[in-house]
A and B are shown apart, each in its own frame.
Chain A
Amino acid sequence: MAIASAASDSSARIEPLADPEVRLMLEVRDGNAAAFEELMLRYQKRLVTVLEHLVGKRGQAEDLAQEVFLRVYRARQSYVPASKFSTWLFTIANNVAANAARSRSRRREVQVAAAEGDDRIATIDELALAASGLMPGRQLDKAELREVVQAALATLSERQRLAVLLNKFEGMNYADIATTMDMSPQAIKSLLCRAREKLREVLEPYLERGERPASP
């Protein structure tokens, strides 16, 4: 989706000027360089966090985040506030990440095991193998638990993962996620439902063993 239409097709319409960041972006449009740096400061960690969990590599996430900010700046003069700033920003991030994924796929740098249209990164068996250090009866410590959760996230498709990250980390509602990902709210509802069910399916056995080590 083009940037301009991303800004104008929002199904999650709000009073844009009520969003302080939209006001900052309007300052950027009017030539205030400091306002752009302020927006960067506000979003850079959030953006890199989402992108890192999406693409799985920190360096690549930083590159993509820079590309997103560059696109935001280049689009400043045609910026029309039609949705929350965060929705607009993550729409651009989604496009940038999708382009990068297509490019990676063309270069055959990633092995994609497609299943029903989902580009899964790890199977449950692989996850079990990755977490094989978790012996029954042993309390999960923080680092281990984090690894398990990361691996569980990796079992989701890229679309599921993005929807989960936007919902969980950015607190976006279904309508905003739908705008960001260029899908209908109903499709997002189903996507998130499948994602959460998958997470439950993967994480629950580990939680069960961790909490009740004596159980057979």
Chain B
Amino acid sequence: MRAVWASAVMAVALNAFAANPDEAQIEQLMNAPAKPAATPAKPDKTTAAKNEPDSAASLVGQRVAVETRQRGFYVGTLTAVTRETLTLAIELPTRSVSYSLPRGDVASVTAR
């Protein structure tokens, strides 16, 4: 009986080992509960301190490029900065959109 269990565990382990990392990640993402994306993160004093809100606040009113920690990129006019979010006004061909990014996801903010 132990041998059967050991074989089954080995088969599962071998299968997991042989799988492509991307395939394994897809499986993980398919099975994981969806992660909230653009909802503002809970106020976190340490995170807020790390994000240096003052440096971003000095760019309010300017056209900025915001890079996120997931390799995302957004360009627009920085309209508001809070501890939780950065708000950009992005001009689209047909309208202007106000877009908020959680501060926890922001990797860098640079003036354009």
Q: Is the pairing of A and B real?
A: no
**Which B residues are within 8 Å of any A CB, using their own CB?**
none
**Which A residues are within 8 Å of any B CB, using their own CB?**
none
